[in-house]
């Protein structure tokens, strides 16, 4: 009887600690493009995708709205593109409960240009190596603007800001690849593999010289029969050089966020965990 009384008191305490409507899992967040969030039908389409793919209750997850202004702060300095408030459609869900590795699930029926491998490569450029990300849109979209939302989601969950130089390098990588895919015959998967392999070689040998990076890309292109222009190669070299040059900031960010990820590697606080504890307590196990 005493054990049952204590268990009941524990449940009452939980109810007092968690306000109504508050997400019980701070390791999960959804970032909506402002166009999607403002349209009930669009938001429903996105929520249905997230719920089906993640098996999570999307009504009990914290949210953040990504505005055109936030996207333009990134895109204007890279591509010169400016988006209006009715053009920010891509949305993302970040789940850091499973943080043993980095996985990105993309709704290929809606995201037309950026692939999961492209997101993974850009996120790794930013020092992000853990978590499961889901990306979709209510209607067809390139997916370029989703990276801003994904990185914002990591900041929201971990409460650690990603350095601006790192964000810029990661976004530049996405925008450069999107432009090449749109204007050449290379597939998104081929290009993502090229970028990933070249970045790895550049990182391993700590190369920052532009001409050397161009030569590495040229060798890869020739050996794998990839059809991209010299301009594309120059642009990729600029992007990879930029990624390499911000590695100091990347290391700083990883040091700041590592404590959070280590603390949450075993699941952190959860209501399910507390319920299991109460059950075991009552059963005397």
Structural domain boundaries of the chain?
25-269
Q: pLDDT tens for residues 18-62?
A: 343 334 478 999 999 999 999 999 999 999 999 999 999 999 999
The per-residue pLDDT for 56 is 94
| Cα Rg of the chain (Å, integer) | 21
Report whether 32 contacts 134 (CB < 8 A): no
In this prediction, residue 21 carries a pLDDT of: 37
Burial class (CB within 10 angstroms; exposed 0-12, middle 13-18, buried 19+) of 87: middle
Looking up tokens 């990182």 gives 203
pTM for this predicted structure? 0.80
CA distance 85 to 77: 18
pLDDT in tens, the chain (285 residues): 544 444 444 444 434 443 433 344 789 999 999 999 999 999 999 999 999 999 999 999 999 999 988 887 766 555 667 778 888 899 999 999 876 789 999 999 999 889 999 999 999 999 999 999 999 999 998 888 788 899 999 999 999 999 999 999 999 999 899 899 988 889 999 999 999 999 999 999 999 999 999 999 999 999 999 999 999 999 999 999 999 999 999 999 999 988 777 666 544 434 444 444 344 444 444
The single-letter DSSP state of residue 270 is: -
55: left (phi over 0), alpha (psi -120 to 50) or beta: left
CA distance 114 to 191: 11
Alpha helices in the chain (DSSP H): 2-17, 34-38, 40-54, 68-75, 116-125, 146-158, 164-183, 188-204, 210-223, 230-245, 247-263, 271-283
Distance, CA of 83 to CA of 68 (rounded, Å)? 6
CA distance 249 to 217: 25
- Dist. CA 144–CA 78, nearest whole Å: 12
CB 91 within 8 A of CB 134: no
Gap between the Cα atoms of 199 and 34, Å rounded? 33
């Amino acid at each position: 009887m005493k054990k049952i009384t204590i268990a009941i008191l524990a449940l009452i305490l939980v109810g007092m600690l968690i306000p109504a409507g508050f997400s019980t899992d701070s390791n999960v967040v959804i970032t909506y493009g402002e166009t999607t969030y403002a349209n009930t039908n669009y938001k429903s389409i996105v929520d249905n995708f997230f719920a089906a793919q993640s098996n999570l209750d999307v009504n009990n997850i914290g949210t953040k709205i990504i505005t055109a202004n936030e996207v333009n702060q990134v895109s204007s300095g890279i591509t010169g593109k400016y988006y209006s408030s009715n053009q920010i459609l891509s949305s993302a869900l970040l789940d850091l409960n499973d943080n043993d590795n980095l996985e990105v699930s993309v709704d290929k029926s809606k995201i037309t240009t950026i692939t999961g491998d492209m997101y993974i490569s850009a996120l790794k450029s930013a020092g992000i190596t853990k978590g499961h990300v889901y990306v979709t849109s209510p209607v067809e979209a390139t997916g370029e603007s989703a990276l801003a939302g994904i990185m914002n989601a990591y900041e929201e969950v971990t409460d650690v800001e990603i350095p601006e130089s790192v964000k810029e390098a990661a976004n530049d990588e996405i925008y450069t690849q999107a432009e090449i895919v749109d204007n050449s015959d290379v597939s998104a998967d081929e290009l993502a593999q090229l970028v990933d392999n070249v970045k790895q070689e550049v990182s391993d040998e700590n190369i920052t010289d532009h001409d050397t990076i161009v030569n590495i890309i040229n060798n890869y292109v020739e050996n794998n029969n990839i059809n991209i222009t010299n301009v594309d190669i120059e642009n990729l070299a600029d992007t990879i050089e930029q990624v390499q040059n911000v590695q100091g900031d990347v290391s700083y960010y990883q040091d700041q966020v590592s404590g959070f990820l280590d603390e949450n590697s075993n699941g952190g606080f959860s209501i399910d965990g507390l319920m299991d504890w109460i059950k075991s307590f009552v059963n005397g196990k």
